[in-house]
Amino acid sequence: MRLFETHRGAAKTLLVCLLAACQPAAEGPGAGAADTPNMPADASGPGVPAGVAQFAVDPFWPQPLPNNWIIGQVAGLSIDADDHVWIIHRPWTVQATNAGATPPMAVRDNAWGSTPVQSTCCVTAPPVIEFDAEGNVLRSWGAGEGYDWFNSEHGIHVDHNGKVWVAGNGDGDHHMMRFTKDGQHELTIGGVNVSQGSNDTNSVRGVAIMESDAAANELYVADGYGNRRLIVFDAETGAYKRHWGAYGERPTDDNPGPWDPNAPPSRTWRTPVHGLAIANDGLVYVTDRPSNRIQVFQKDGTYVRETVLAPLTYGPGSTWDVVLDPLDPEQRFLYVPDGTNHKVWTLDRETLQPVHSWGRAGRAPGQFDWLHNMEFDSQGNAFTAEVQTGHRIQKFNRLP
């Protein structure tokens, strides 16, 4: 056993070093004169500006899943006050050939097939999973009785009260729900297929992500797959508080068309409005993903400014999420996962300009395939989630 552990540790160290030092710079549709120069594909090494967090992938996190489980697209990620990592994934996106031990009909019709294949592996895991800091599964639940689950899971947030909020972005997913950590349903905002659009204050439509403001006991919601807005609810009662669209204006449901880097900025957010962060100084950051845009607001919706990141990125866009570093007391930097260019950008928060990036496309540890979300734990370690064919969560240990 000691010999095995010694070799395992050496292999881990070697693999981390290789990933941290040897990956080539990422390329993608956003590369060009408007982007930053080529930078290391990892988050360490020469050229990293002072104060920017540096990381090395932990290829052994999480631990092997129990119960012969397999997970699908990981469409939401949150870290609670105990540094436990929560995910929401899409069991129905697991290919039938990879879920051969799942009882028939447990794998829903999807683009990859609908007929389960009888085999010893695997069983689709419940949609909500809690991991401890070491990567062990603690709890799992979701899609139970007594509430309407989602057609497509998207977004999870553990708020300052220890409540778990979940949402979806599928057909008719015009609601979001609050649960206890044990999976007891407490509250639903909205309902199935009830939304009246971006100014309906009684429902949502295709939520992307949620964040809470503990001081105000409020929940901020990027309601951005069907609607084009940010909406705020009371975190205790679920009562509507306020909402706004691009530039702090009353949102419309008008479609501004595809992204054009040569056109004037759209006065309407494209869909999805996908990322959200609240800084200690009260500024709220919202990502308009297909427009490669981050807009900044005060908490009352007053518009402050905006930036466009990697403007030559088309399709799904570059600004998939936005997060702040808990070990950066001045919050000098924003970290922006980019699922189209397969990297994480670091932006100077004062200038909103990129100063560093890391990552590249691939399936090896430390690489990304449809990078979707990112979160930090209290120790400054980074966690990432991947959708489409990614189907995983990764941990990046913070380096001294």
DSSP 165-184: EEEE-STTEEEEEEE-TT--
pLDDT at 48: 85
Say if residue 35's pLDDT is above 50: no
pLDDT at 23: 39
The pLDDT mean for the chain works out to 89
* Predicted confidence (pLDDT) per residue in 272-320, tens digit: 999 999 999 999 999 999 999 999 999 999 999 999 999 999 999 999 9
The number of C-alpha atoms within 13 Å of 62 and in the hemisphere containing its C-beta is 24
- Cβ proximity of 279 and 286 under 8 Å: no
Confidence of residue 102 (pLDDT cuts 50, 70, 90): confident
Residue identified by tokens 């989630």 is 385
- Phi, psi for 186 (deg, rounded to 5): -120, -35
Confidence of residue 12 (pLDDT cuts 50, 70, 90): very low
Say if residue 110's pLDDT is above 90: no
Q: Rounded CA gap, 167 and 206, in Å?
A: 8
Residue identified by tokens 């992938």 is 57
| Residue 162 region by backbone torsions, left for phi larger than 0, else alpha for psi between -120 and 50, else beta | left
Amino acid at 138: L
The number of C-alpha atoms within 13 Å of 143 and in the hemisphere containing its C-beta is 18
Confidence of residue 33 (pLDDT cuts 50, 70, 90): very low
10 three-class SS: helix
Higher per-residue confidence, 332 vs 10: 332
216 three-class SS: coil
Higher per-residue confidence, 115 vs 144: 144
Say if residue 31's pLDDT is above 50: no
Q: Rounded CA gap, 230 and 198, in Å?
A: 9
Amino acid at 248: G
Top-tier CATH class for 2-398: mainly beta
Amino acid at 69: W
* Predicted confidence (pLDDT) per residue in 143-177, tens digit: 999 999 999 999 999 999 999 999 999 999 999 99
Q: Rounded CA gap, 288 and 225, in Å?
A: 11
- Cβ proximity of 42 and 377 under 8 Å: no
The number of C-alpha atoms within 13 Å of 186 and in the hemisphere containing its C-beta is 15
Q: Rounded CA gap, 162 and 143, in Å?
A: 20
- Cβ proximity of 269 and 251 under 8 Å: yes
Cβ burial of 240 (10 Å; 0-12, 13-18, 19+) is: middle
Residue identified by tokens 């007053």 is 302
pLDDT at 314: 97
Q: Rounded CA gap, 31 and 26, in Å?
A: 9
- Cβ proximity of 53 and 328 under 8 Å: yes
pLDDT at 41: 38
Residue 308 pairs with which residues in a beta bridge?
293
Amino acid at 26: A
Q: Rounded CA gap, 104 and 115, in Å?
A: 8
- Domain limits, the chain: 2-398
β-strands 218-223, 207-213 pairing: antiparallel
**Percentage of the chain modeled with pLDDT above 70:** 85
pLDDT at 13: 38
Residue identified by tokens 């709220």 is 284
Q: Rounded CA gap, 328 and 19, in Å?
A: 25
pLDDT at 95: 87
Confidence of residue 106 (pLDDT cuts 50, 70, 90): low
Letter string b/e over residues 290-325, b meaning 16 or more CB atoms within 10 A of that residue's CB: bbbbbbbbebebeeeebbbbbbbbbebbbbbbbbbb
